[in-house]
């Protein structure tokens, strides 16, 4: 198995970083090939711009997705983008490791997705969901946050956290063809003692140990929709 962990926490000694390290150690212990893209340590540039292409199809007006398609076809992506794309293409399992910021992922990780999940390779036209460019690969989100778990429930003030992450789970990972596994959330992290953090690490390792038996989240099947992606009348 080839595993890619994309990590987006600014503090190497954080609990989020400990979860990242635990995943790397787990899979290496199984003999897997593990790559870690530590975005802060790499100084990864999250800003999508015209600088991402060594040449442009249209030098006068930037349509970023169209330039991505042209760059994929002609080998015109900047080396930092191409290197991350190559890592994703090599992996069988992609793990995204990050702290929750404002109901979402950090801007650094969002920028990595913006620049790396290129049109024409990850998706394009009807090549989405079960036909997406990353079909056959699995994806797992591991995120830490300060809120208590009961705050993110049907009775809680914030609603279900998995639903809040729908743009990432469905609109990004599922959309590009990944089999998206149930996310792992570590709650209330800044306020926990070592014993409680240790218990979460244990849960995380157990989750990873059983990963082959985990069913992916349900995603749309393109065959259920017509040419306009409207549901077929049954």
Over the stretch 196-220, which tens digit does the pLDDT of each residue have?
999 999 999 999 999 999 999 999 9
Kindly report the pTM of this predicted structure.
0.95
Query: Is residue 48 in a domain?
Result: yes
Query: What is the model's pLDDT at position 63?
Result: 98
Comparing CA positions, the residue from 78, 222, 60 lying closest to residue 68 is: 78
**pLDDT confidence band for 140 (50 / 70 / 90):** very high
Q: Which of 209, 202, 211 is nearest to 183 (CA)?
A: 211
User: CA–CA separation, 105 vs 127, rounded Å?
Assistant: 25
Residue 230 counted as domain residue:
no
The CATH number of residue 209's host domain is 3.40.50.360
Cα torsion 179, 220, 175, 162: sign: negative
User: Do the Cβ atoms of 111 and 47 come closer than 8 Å?
Assistant: yes
Would residue 22 count as lying in a domain? yes
Work out how many domains the chain is built from and give that number.
1
In terms of residue numbers, what domain contains 33?
Answer: 2-224
Kindly state the average pLDDT of the residues 2-16: 98
| pLDDT reading at 121 higher than 80 | yes
Q: Which helix (H) or strand (E) holds 108?
A: helix 107-116
> 37, 31 in Cβ contact below 8 A?
no
Assigned domain for 229 exists = no
Q: Residue 114: which of 182, 44, 217, 30 has the closest Cα?
A: 44
Domain contains 120: yes
- Mean pLDDT, all residues of the chain: 95
Residue 234 lies in a domain: no
Domain assignment present for residue 231? The answer is: no
Place of tokens 């007006």: 61
> Residue 147 corresponds to which tokens in the numbers above?
């809120």
User: Is 233 a member of any domain?
Assistant: no
68: tokens are 């991505």
Q: Which of 61-65, 111-115, 157-161, 170-174 has the lowest mean pLDDT?
A: 157-161
- Strands in the chain per DSSP E: 2-7, 33-38, 93-99, 138-144, 179-180, 184-186
* DSSP count for the chain of H helices, then E strands: 8, 6
Please say if the pLDDT value at position 50 is more than 80. yes
Residue 1 is predicted with a pLDDT of 95
For residue 34, name the pLDDT band (cuts at 50, 70, 90).
very high
User: For residue 113, what pLDDT band results from cuts at 50, 70 and 90?
Assistant: very high
């Amino acid at each position: 198995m080839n595993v890619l962990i994309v990590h987006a926490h600014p503090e190497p000694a954080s609990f989020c970083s400990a979860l990242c390290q635990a995943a790397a150690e787990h899979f290496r212990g199984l003999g897997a090939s593990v790559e870690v893209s530590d975005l802060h340590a790499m100084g990864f540039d999250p800003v999508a711009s015209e600088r991402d292409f060594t040449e442009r199809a249209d030098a006068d007006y930037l349509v970023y997705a169209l330039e991505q398609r042209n760059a994929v076809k002609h080998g015109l992506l900047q080396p930092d983008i191409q290197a991350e794309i190559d890592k994703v293409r090599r992996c069988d399992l992609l793990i995204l490791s990050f702290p929750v910021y404002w109901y979402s992922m950090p801007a650094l990780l969002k920028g990595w997705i913006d620049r790396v999940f290129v049109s024409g390779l990850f998706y394009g036209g009807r090549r989405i969901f079960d036909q997406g460019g990353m079909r056959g690969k699995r994806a797992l989100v591991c995120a830490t946050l300060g809120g208590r778990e009961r705050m993110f429930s049907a009775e809680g003030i914030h609603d279900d956290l998995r639903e809040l992450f729908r743009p990432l789970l469905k609109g990004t990972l599922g959309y590009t063809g990944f089999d998206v596994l149930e996310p792992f959330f570590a709650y209330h992290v800044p306020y926990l003692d070592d014993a409680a953090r240790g218990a979460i690490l244990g849960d995380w390792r157990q989750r990873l140990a059983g990963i082959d038996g985990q069913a992916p989240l349900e995603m749309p099947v393109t065959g259920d929709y017509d040419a306009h992606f409207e549901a077929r009348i049954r």
